[in-house]
Chains A and B, each alone.
Chain A
Amino acid sequence: MNALGKLRVSLAVIGIIYILIPLIVVIPASFTSANFPSFPAEGFSLQWYSKILERPEFMEAFFNSVQFAFLAAFFSVLFGTLGAIGIAKYEIPGKAYITSILTAPLSVPQLVLGIALLVYFTPLLLSGTSTGFLIAHIIICIPYVIRLVLTGLSGFDYNLERAAAILGANPIVVFWKVTLPLIRPAIISGGLFAFLTSFDNVTVSLFMISPEMRTLPIEIFSTMQDAYNPIVASVSTVVILISVILIIILEKLQGVGNVFGGSNHTSG
């Protein structure tokens, strides 16, 4: 490799480290024995993990997050899969417009979306309710499910459905025994992606929560704003662990990079 190539690779390594470093430092910091968060950690202890169990608000927020993420994934996959099949399989007039309408929530900043939903939900008596929260999360998950399932359907051979129908299967059996198994990886990826999107979301959730109903990222966010406490490091490590497990499954199914290709993902 020539000098220029070496320069290019070393700059790339610096860039990759820059992307990864905030996540890397959180994990060792969670094992600190000190009362303040630091990297490198001072001493070693698991006290901040046991403190999570002593703080009911974190446990409650965790179960809320899992519950909402599961429901948001379920509904966005349900609506999204039906919609994607509708777009991919049938000659609907204005197909391209419909696809861009369905992925439009991605191009509106989450902050603005959160504001719009809060203002809209209040007269409908939905603000601060779990229904409102769930609706908001389904809206931000749908574009990803649509994109992933459409990709899964792009090479789909509809002759297989036709063959099953000729052999006497009714449309429901065709869908259940032929279509669904073939696009299952795409649907599972969509579901996992929706789960993570909902589980990790802060911006839209900030407008949807109520004092009684908070999620884990929101709890971390407000703890960070009030006082920097090492408990944030241990809770964050748990979040990283959950994300990493789901990312590994997602990568095996569809490839993480494919999801973001040419996207307009909004977070932060």
Chain B
Amino acid sequence: MEPVRHHADQEINKPAKLKVERKTSKIKKRKGWIPGLLLLVPILLFIFGFFIVPMLYILYLSFISTDNLNSADAVYSLKNYIELFTDSYYLSSLSLTVKISFYSVIVALLLGYPIALTMAKSSPRVRGYITLLIASPLLVSIVVRNFGWYLLLLPNGTINQLLINLGIINTPLKLLFSELGVVIGLSNAYLPFMVLAIVTSLYNIDPSLEKAGAILGASPLRSFFSITLPLSLPGVVSGCVLVFSLSMSAYVTPALMGGANVPVMPVVLYDQINNLLKWTFGSALSYVLLATTLLLVLVFTRSIEKSKFKEVFR
């Protein structure tokens, strides 16, 4: 009888105990959030004052018709946006940016997927080493990484010499100051993000699924295309989105690897703001660049999520 009664006592006591606990925790919470907010005051003020307000300020400026903000003809208008969308120079710059970002995504995806797959199939130790190898370059300045490519892509640089010695080409290819150079620079800079995004979704795949596939007679290739690849699509999508958005707004790499030959939007934008001091027009360009990126990302993710693999995104 003893144990039973003990058990019953516990059962009776439990709800009461819980109630008491809940009460105290409620009191603690109510008392608790004011000091928490006080700790957050400096950082929140900082972010509001020097990030949110400036971002809203240039949105406001983009609707002002002249760059002299004090002049009488500084009125609200859509002039900047109209000028932007009627001038073929800006439109072709925008489409060039989209094209180059698209190619960068493709290169990063093709080179990144095998790395991610190898990481997912490695021991945690090897995985750690690969993560260190691919993520560390992100912490070295982009100018240094671009300089490395410059050495490789020069007309008499390593890659051209190699191709000539192998007899593949006779005259050096124009790799530097070309769209190809920019695509190489961008895909190189953002490839680690692609790998890290894909590998996260590969880790989440239940290994027994592949085993089940093998038992049912699927070849490794078949099991890759019907199990691993579709289930890794969320990672692929977020990797592509990341690399695309970063490429759309990259300035340093196009400026160094493409120069005046590849006038992508960020290069044009920098010129408008820093050299021509066209602030209101530049502000409008900034928001058009942001909006274009967001729109394309949205169209891309929606169309993938509605594809035959839509189950994966649930």
Contact = CB atoms under 8 A, between A and B. Distances in A.
Contacts of B289: 109, 112
A4 B156 CA distance: 36
Interface residues of B, number: 97
Classify the interface of chain B: helix, strand, loop or mixed.
helix
Given A21-B148, A92-B33, 20 more contacts: A12-B130, A14-B114, A18-B191, A82-B43, A86-B38, A91-B33, A104-B47, A110-B251, A111-B269, A112-B290, A115-B282, A115-B283, A116-B55, A116-B286, A119-B279, A120-B58, A142-B46, A236-B148, A259-B135, A263-B193
Contacts of B256: 221, 224-225
B31 to A, nearest CB: 9
A180 interface: no
A108 to B, nearest CB: 7
A71 B276 CA distance: 32
A255 to B, nearest CB: 7
B115 A16 contact: yes
Contacts of A85: 36, 39
A64 to B, nearest CB: 14
Interface in B274-294: 274, 279, 282-283, 286, 289-290
Contact of B51 (A8, A105, A203): A105
Classify the interface of chain A: helix, strand, loop or mixed.
helix
12 contacts: A12-B130, A23-B137, A83-B42, A85-B36, A90-B36, A92-B40, A109-B246, A110-B251, A111-B249, A112-B58, A115-B283, A119-B57
B147 A236 contact: yes
Contacts of A4: 220-221, 224
Contacts of A112: 55, 58, 249, 286, 289-290
Interface stretch (A45-53, A55-63, A238-246): A238-246
A22 interface: yes
Nearest to B259: A225
Interface of B: 29, 32-33, 35-40, 42-44, 46-47, 50-55, 57-58, 61, 111-112, 114-115, 117-119, 121, 128, 130-152, 154, 156-158, 186, 188-193, 195-197, 200, 220-221, 224, 238, 242, 245-246, 248-253, 255-256, 259, 266, 269-270, 273-274, 279, 282-283, 286, 289-290
A224 B134 contact: no
Contact of A262 (B32, B52, B188, B200): B200
Given A87-B36, A239-B141, A120 B132 contact: no
